[in-house]
Structure 1
């Protein structure tokens, strides 16, 4: 088994001379927990939200790396590494990693996104020290065993095949490619069959060493947790691996800047598949996650396709019965974003569904929303925001992503105030700016040549 070279940790007395910086970010008010943050020597950030009334805790580590950090040849490396870190450390085998959490009824998983990766475990509060030890061990001491890298290659290829078989998933990958072209944001998070087959153990190991030092990691925990205890346990786990000693004195890597602007490609991409339904996404460039226009755009998206009373749901499903599922959504990245509407319908209905989507978008771009639509969308978005934070997993997700992407924590009250402050004029302005762009279209399904030609004409 190949071992990752390790640097001996400094003695505890030396490590303590470097002072950890701790402060309270949010005081527990209106049912929310107290949020605290500590920056350890070595640049590791630990953020917690304490809720003494629950009996569970979710612990996660967020890495400042996603698929947009890959070169074309390394497409899929971030996700590949996510799999490999579960396959064994210097202290635990792959079976011991999974059985440790299974033995206490815990849940452990991970996900890779365009701009970050997250590893997490949800356990009873009494088992939090175990979760911390296991997840930290995975992140700091993976051996990247060559045999495990090879065996996991087959698993990842099956995951790619599974996504390819699900046209509803496949259309979103196709839309990213349509919007962003052959850029990091346009490539699939999973990689392709060719790039995954070409990745070597040494490439995955180099990717690990480059992107997983403490300055690029954020630890987040939420639930019935004690901040000081979490910090001590995390510090002990990272010291055991010598990780903090290697970066002592370094400051954390800040949120991504907006300098690397990705130009949108646009156009029409059609993928012929022998499915029962055709799946389409129509969209255009949106706003970045730092843009204050994201608040009115979120309200606009909710009014257009965020629920059963939304325009698209009413027009496409309720009035005409053309589709079972239709919705609108936004995605914000460090330097750009997108706005899209989705529908799944029979192939023969695609032109009609597309026509209705375009009519609704054009109408809102020209005249905005009615006042009652704005009020209803604000209420729906506010309610879903609060209800979405009712479990420790969602709270951990908010803590980690906020620290990694914004470098700050926004209280729920502040988020609700931002949403409530959106006016019909704000929505009209953002609708004119976003929806006036020439749309891009992606469709996956059994399209005839004639249908394909009509779709090209409809978006031209």
Structure 2
């Protein structure tokens, strides 16, 4: 069994009456064995729901009036809570115990496996979620970054209690972990918990793998409403080109100030629900635009996105559009930084579980420094590898 490696950061804000707590572990779906897809996702459920002296971490925290949640990504897990300040230390102790010494009994694993299977069934019935897994699978075909984040029904059924316990003992406990706390008082960690090491003293443990060729299959439009996702590879985490891709996504996002909003919704009336974003991982990132398309509108929606990208690749954005996109991203960072829970979560993700330096101020400065040429370069890179995926798919024609 590996010894947990924990780093801790706290931000003391005396004006707050609540505390945001987030434990980020550098373990995601990409580490699942291919035949056990969803193993890490199942472990997330067990940390939150397995009993601690009769009640789970989730139940005991919400019994105190707090709110809790968790998620599994491609390269990290997060377990987080927002509680009254006077309850923060007790909840931190519960969270660390639930994460590093959970009840992984046969009964607990069997019960939570059934819950995860129902969650996967619900996700499979939602084309909005299916299309996002599908575009990652196309961008990173056969690569760990292309695996479904939630896993597969077959993988969950194959994840017996022994496999779950082994995954926790080796992968989970061996991964860098970071506890971020934002509240009116510095946290008091429980005695006997995991050893705390200085920030930056650990390194990411993910081994990069060669990226495969892009796989762009045919687009088969259904007769009714569908979700279309256009995606391209982008720079990996820590790459200095990433802010340019963030601004490019903001220019094609859901804000009424964006180019895509003005073209797709105001001029053509083709879109109601759409968004754009970029995420960075170890080997590469994934830049995406997601849009709902009505009957017969899908191809035109794709043309609009491609035309806007081509225009940005050639001329870059106008000054006022660039300024609006940068301001929007900076405002989002400000809003997150003022919310204790979102601030704690951002610290966990942006520092890659405490293994990389990051601050909201530095991120804002990087966004402010993005030029029109930076955006044009990002658009050219996206145009060169842009693929389109649609769900539900229509029949071959």
Separation of aligned partners in 2, 1:313 and 1:51: 37
Specify the alignment match of 1:147 in structure 2: 107
Question: Using a 3 Å threshold, how does the CA distance of structure 1 residues 360 and 272 change in structure 2: closer, same or farther?
Answer: closer
Is this contact kept in 2: 1:315–1:356, CA < 8 A?
A: yes
Asked if 1 retains the 8 angstrom alpha-carbon contact of 2:37 and 2:156, the reply is: yes
CA shift, 1:307, in A, is 1.2
Measure the CA separation in 1 of the matches of 2:149 and 2:359. 31
1:260 maps to 2:209: yes
Conserved 8 A contact 1:287-1:336: yes
In the aligned structure 2, how far is the partner of 1:141 from the partner of 1:258? Answer: 26
Q: Is the 8 A contact 1:44 1:215 kept in 2?
A: no
Give the number of the structure whose alpha-carbon radius of gyration is greater: 1
1:157 — aligned with what? 117
Corresponding position: 1:74 with 2:36:
yes
In the aligned structure 1, how far is the partner of 2:271 from the partner of 2:315?
26
2:341 maps to which of 393, 396, 412: 393
Deviation at 1:263, TM superposition (A): 2.7
Q: Distance in 1 between matches of 2:171 and 2:392?
A: 38
- Give the Cα separation in 1 of the matches to 2:12 and 2:213: 42
Q: What is the distance in 2 between the residues matched to 1:47 and 1:385?
A: 18
* Residue-pair matches, total: 396
Q: State how far apart, in whole Å, the 1-side matches of 2:61 and 2:126 are.
A: 30
1:223 deviation in Å?
A: 1.4
TM-score under structure 2 length normalisation? 0.92
Distance 1:267 1:446 in 2: 14
In structure 2, the residue matched to 1:348 is: 296
Aligned 8 A contact 2:25 2:353 in 1: no
Partner of 1:225: 185
Instruction: Answer yes or no: is the 8 Å Cα contact 1:269–1:443 preserved in 2.
Output: no
What's the CA shift string for 1:116-146, capped at 9, x where partnerless?
Answer: 1111221000001220121111012212010
Does the CA contact (< 8 Å) of 2:133 and 2:148 recur in 1? Answer: yes
1:287 and 2:235 equivalent?
yes
Matched ranges for 1:252-401 at <5 A: 253-255=202-204, 259-268=208-217, 276-401=224-349
User: Hey, what's the Cα distance between the residues in 2 that align with 1:42 and 1:176?
Assistant: 31
Match of 2:140 among 180, 186, 199: 180
Instruction: Please give the alpha-carbon distance, in whole angstroms, between the structure 1 residues aligned to 2:250 and 2:197.
Output: 46
Instruction: Deviation per CA, 1:273-309: give whole Å up to 9, x if none.
Output: 78x5211011211111211111121112111225112
Query: Which residue in the other structure is 1:92 paired with?
Result: 53
Q: Give the deviation of 1:77 after TM superposition.
A: 0.4
* 1:175 positional shift: 0.7
Superposition pairs of residues 200-219 of structure 1, within 5 angstroms: 200-213=160-173, 216-219=176-179
Q: Work out the CA distance in 2 between the residues paired with 1:269 and 1:149.
A: 40
Q: Is the deviation greater in 302-311 or in 64-73?
A: 302-311
Gaps of 5+ in 1: 8-40, 451-460
Check if 1:443 corresponds to 2:363: no
Residue deviations 1:43-78, cap 9 Å, x none?
Answer: 421111111110000222221210111221121100
